[in-house]
Amino acid sequence: MIAVISWIPSWAQPAPSPQNENSGLNAVDSIRSEDEGNRSGPGASRLSESHRKYGQDPQLPPDSEPENLNTLNSPGADYAPFVVENGKYIIFQSERPGRTEGHGLWYSFNRNFRDRAGPVEYSVPLELRFPYQDVDPSDTMKILFSSTDGYFAPSSDDFDGHPCILYRDGRPVEIYLTSRRQVDGQGKLTRDGFQGTNIYYARYRNNQWSEVRHLNELNSDFNDRMAFVTPDGTRMYFVSDRPGGYGGNDIYFSERDLKTGLWSAPVNLGPTINSRYDEITPHISYGGSRLVFASNRPGGIGHFDLYFSRFSGYEWQQPENLGRPINSERDDEALVLTSDGLWTYFASDRKHPKAMGGFDLYRFATPTNLLDSVKILLTGKVLDASSKLPLGLDATIKIQFEEQTIVTSSRRTVKTDGMTVSNQFEVELYSGRVYRVVVSAPGYEPAEMQLDYRGSIPPGRMDDRIVYLEPVRIDVNNPDKEGRIIPGIVVDADTGLALPASRIRKFAGTDVTEVPEVDGKGEFSISAKPGEAFELEASSPGYVMKRQRFQEEGLEKIRIELKSDGTDPCQNLEPACVDNVRILFALNQSTVRPTELGKLRNIARVMQKHPEMKVEVQGHTDRTYRGPEDRAYEYNLMLSRERARAVKQALVEMGISADRLSVKGYSYLRPIVKAEDAVKGAVNRRVEFRRIRE
């Protein structure tokens, strides 16, 4: 019997009280945070309620329509919202009449900005000038270059749009916008630039704003526009129809050296993001793990639909359509997220009862699939459900999500007299996922729970659990029905070492049952009726399957010995053989390929034979990353560490204790061959092993 408890985290709703101490898994102090202040505000539970609702299905409920921000909208086009201070201000592009002609930049103040989950109360929009008109300029914000009213007004008499502003300490220090070069009536150039639209910027330095200038190193003689700069100022994403792309308008990125202030040559985001059609209005979530853009590629709901892509840590994944109700039968574009991830703003020319005409601005509670992932530390205590004392043997914790599995074990603290005083585990998980967790130990019924970490989850969360395991019970009133429990172990026939990654099936007459769990020591247990004859079939990776016959009478312990299938090159199991093993990886990947698992089984067998042996798992990369030298090293250092961690995890799943394995990443500093292309440098994408001699 498996105890199943489905759980929704307490930051999404009040934690349920335990049903029964012996029901398998109970939550005690389910969630705590190192920064509980982040959850303050009367609207927090209301907003997370909507997030929890949306988290059940990426296709959001059709009755939850985006809110038309009619106070901001005009009969003309209102477009490209940029939200400041989590909604305190909004800056956007509009073609409404103003001091300048064409499209200009406007802003509005939200009087109700302190209520993060409540309605917005935007003021009548005003033309954008720095500082904001309802804020007295301080000495550091006064504009010193010529301006009739002492304010910085970036708008021209032609076209200005898609604003992006960088802030430091709550004040704007850089503004980026799309515009065209300007020539006055006498033919004098009043705003420089190339042909088409250009990306322009102004900076606040030395107590004054610079004049608006175009980014010479990024712009071309084609249309370069819609710039989004990450909050740290190091990377820009923008749109261009320059030659050499994959479609009409593609998304490019550039990186800035903060020491020199220079931007690198633009790089196309590639065919994963860009299609044969148009990709426009890029936006990156505050945590950097989501890219949102609009595209008119086939398969959408309307003309331009909004799509998002997740960043895997090394590359952007295949984009997904955001679906209804964010997308409509018309154009939906220019989506941005507030920095706290609670709200989404975008522009649409959809049919709506409050639509003013052309593109309007809309607001919507951010769906779960756009939220940045945050780390969650899952911790637990494993207790015997009968005695309520810490379990006297190690428990196996198997965590499954999507197509991946994490296996770890609990750690016991034992007194000198052999008494177990604690049995605990911990593992790092991530928000935005649903996990299935199974906790098991020989002689106990496995317990199962589901952890739903979707929704808005602030950083620094811990999920504390108490896990009660029920001993396997025998029906004393009907012993013939249940029989008795017989322990067993699966070992290597040559070395006698345990094989934890084994599978056991029992054949008794026409009945076939699978043993629920083989633990980290290769041990298992079965139930056998008095006088019963049965067969056990055992298999393990890298070993020949074996079927063995047993008789219940007089059987105290089962021992199954499996022969290696001959794929092990370290036949003598000498420790030195691990020094020559290399685990190879695909380009920019850290997942262990199935073809490499045999090598890891070899190392696991060697370490099982030599329990005193400790190993450093060393990750390495090639030099195919194209970017600034400082960013290239950081990227490859992260990738090399992830490769080493993936190999360590695989060895732990094969029964090697985690404290015998340390990981280290070397980035690209130790190549086997000096090559910078992906083919010749393939051998450099590897993990190697070094024995630690203490």
pLDDT value, residue 644: 94
Q: How many residues does the chain have?
A: 694
d(CA 105, CA 228): 16
Alpha-carbon gap, residue 311 to 317, rounded angstroms: 6
Check: CB of residue 652 under 8 Å from CB of residue 501: no
Interatomic CA distance for residues 589 and 666, integer angstroms: 16
Q: Which residue has the higher pLDDT, 408 or 64?
A: 408
Give phi and psi for 525, each to the nearest 5: -145, 150
Q: Hey, what are 128's tokens? A: 């954008």
Ordered by where they begin, the domains of the chain are: 3-34+374-469 (2.60.40.10), 59-366 (2.115.10), 479-562 (2.60.40.1120), 575-692 (3.30.1330.60)
Residues forming a β-bridge with 178: 161, 199
* 82: β partners: 91
Residue 437 scores a pLDDT above 90: yes
Which of 41, 201, 168 lies closest to 116, judged by CA? 41
Closest CA to 160 of 205, 226, 251, 83: 226
Q: How far apart are CA 305 and CA 293, in angstroms?
A: 8
pLDDT tier for residue 342 given thresholds of 50, 70 and 90: confident
How does residue 580 score in pLDDT terms, banded at 50, 70 and 90? Answer: low
Q: What DSSP letter does each residue of 512-531 carry, written as one string?
A: EEE-S---TTSEEEEEE-TT
pLDDT digits over 670-693, tens only? 887 776 666 777 888 999 888 886
CA distance 592 to 447: 29
pLDDT of residue 41 exceeding 80, the answer is no
One-letter amino acid identity for 333? E
Among the listed residues 276, 281, 323, 320, the one whose alpha carbon sits nearest the alpha carbon of residue 302? 323
pTM for the structure as a whole:
0.54
**What's the mean pLDDT in 537-554?**
86
Task: Summarize pLDDT for 276-318 with one digit per residue, the tens.
Answer: 999 999 999 988 889 999 999 998 999 999 999 988 666 788 8
Local confidence band at 521 (pLDDT 50, 70, 90 cut-offs) = low
Taking only the tens place, the pLDDT of each residue in 448-487 is: 899 988 766 777 788 999 999 988 765 444 544 556 888 8
